[in-house]
Amino acid sequence: MPKDKDDVKVSFRHLAEHEKAKFDVDGGLTLQAIWDQAYIELEIDRGERDVLQAPGKHDNPVSLMEHLGVTLDDARARELCDRDFEIAARTGGA
């Protein structure tokens, strides 16, 4: 399949499973749709405590959970993320 000119290569790391995947997506897809695709590419089931985040400066990840309806293009324009993502387990709470 030829690569569309609007496609962007994204990279995902599943922090608990130590798995990585890179794949092309349309920049017009929402972060939710891209996150869903990541589980297929990683061949891992979604955990109920999983969260989507972007690596941040000084090892402070940026949570993307409140932005799942935003397109990748818009998220990049807002400087929420670039093309690298991490899947981590939600922590805390008692």
- The domain ranges of the chain are 10-89
- Per-residue pLDDT 10s for the chain (94 aa) are 445 667 999 999 999 999 999 999 999 999 999 999 999 999 999 999 999 999 988 778 999 999 999 999 999 999 999 999 999 988 765 5
Report whether CATH 3.50.50.60 matches the domain 10-89: no
Q: What is the pLDDT of residues 31-47, one digit of tens each?
A: 999 999 999 999 999 99
How far CA 88 is from CA of 3, 23, 49, 76, 92, in Å, comes to: 29, 19, 8, 20, 13
Angle (CA) 14-19-20 rounded to 5° is 90
